[in-house]
Structure 1
Amino acid sequence: MKIREIMTRDVQTVRPDDSIRRAAQLMDQLNVGILPVCEGRDLVGVVTDRDITVRAISAGKLPDRCKVAEVMTANPRYCYEDDPVGSVTELMAGQQIRRVPVVDRNDRLTGIVSLGDLATEAKNDRAVQGALERISSPSQPDRS
């Protein structure tokens, strides 16, 4: 099975120069916790609800003045739409990430694949189930 068979298509994006307020409002409207950050159709980063909270709000940045570029993860992990589901789940498990942008072979954003997509669409695949368990393992605090 290829990622294109289970990914979410028609993903909404934000630009690096959009405010984090706009990103948060779009996340609320779409009921999502991540948005790809694109210049045109070129993926340049991802911004999550956690990025906004931890990198901006906790630092006292103003939502209308803080730009997505200030808090996003630049050069995110991504996969290709023709990658096998198993290799993408291994990537997700190895990095303990729950969502991965999907690009075509011209590096243009075509969708996103999430832990939920894998859990519902590839639930009978043992390798996928093992990876899902590793992705879902609690992480350790990065500070003492």
Structure 2
Amino acid sequence: MHATRTIADVMTRGAHTLSPDDSVIRAAQAMESLDVGALPVCDTQHNLVGLVTDRDIVLRAVARNRLSESLPLTEVMSHEVLWCYEDEPVDDVLDDMVQRQIRRLPVMDRQKNLVGMVSLGDVAAKTQNRGVGNALAEISLPAAPVRPAQEVSPSGDFELPEVRNSDMHEVNIGHK
């Protein structure tokens, strides 16, 4: 019989944090230099107040043409942050991540101090959990998109951009 692995066994300790007033550009530069896709945002008392992801930056700053040195993280970060405790069983946290479609979480100790981050990649690299591949596949399934109303041409047709990709190939990843 083996002991249940906890998040502390697989997490990345010592997460780099940002301030809510830091610029979005500073966050992107930190992500690039650290080779991460998400960073926790903490206030001056070191309380976790948000999480910023590369996706937040793309969708809430770049796509809206708002990217500038003066754009603070508070305007693009996720304010409702889900997190886990470092002493929770890996399998329980993994189940929650799948259910909520989350790839990475801040990790807290029981005094609610930020102690690191855990990602599906951490779990895959540090355990022999075969469920991680399935978890990643489930999380990666696209949700039905909510699309804004389409522009209608004078003829009454929807105007959609033409998309061509002659380099697209189907790839079978182990499915028969």
Is the TM-score greater than 0.5? yes
2:15 counterpart (11, 17, 33): 11
Match of residue 28 from structure 1: 32
Match of residue 95 from structure 1: 100
Structure 1 segments of 4+ aligned residues over 6 angstroms from their partners? none
The code of the aligned residue for 1:36 comes to P
Aligned residues: 143
Q: How far apart are residue 132 of structure 1 and its match?
A: 3.9
Match of residue 145 from structure 2: 141
Give the structure with the larger strand fraction: 1
SS in 1 for 2:49: strand
Give the structure with the larger helix fraction: 1
- Answer 1 or 2: higher relative contact order, Cα 8 Å, separation at least 6: 1
Q: Distance in 2 between matches of 1:87 and 1:129?
A: 16
Structure 1 residues 130 and 58, CA, compared in 2 at 3 Å: closer, same or farther?
closer
Match of residue 107 from structure 1: 112
Q: How far apart are residue 111 of structure 1 and its match?
A: 0.4
Q: How far apart are residue 93 of structure 1 and its match?
A: 0.1
Gaps of 5+ in 2: 149-176
Match of residue 80 from structure 1: 85
Q: Please give the root-mean-square deviation of Cα atoms over the aligned residues, in Å.
A: 1.7
Residue 38 in structure 1 maps to residue 38 in structure 2? no
Structure 1 residues 126 and 29, CA, compared in 2 at 3 Å: closer, same or farther?
closer
Q: Distance in 1 between matches of 2:30 and 2:133?
A: 31
Structure 1 residues 127 and 68, CA, compared in 2 at 3 Å: closer, same or farther?
same
Q: Distance in 2 between matches of 1:95 and 1:135?
A: 8
TM-score (norm 2): 0.75
Percent identity over the alignment is 48
Q: Distance in 1 between matches of 2:104 and 2:122?
A: 9
Gaps of 5+ in 1: none
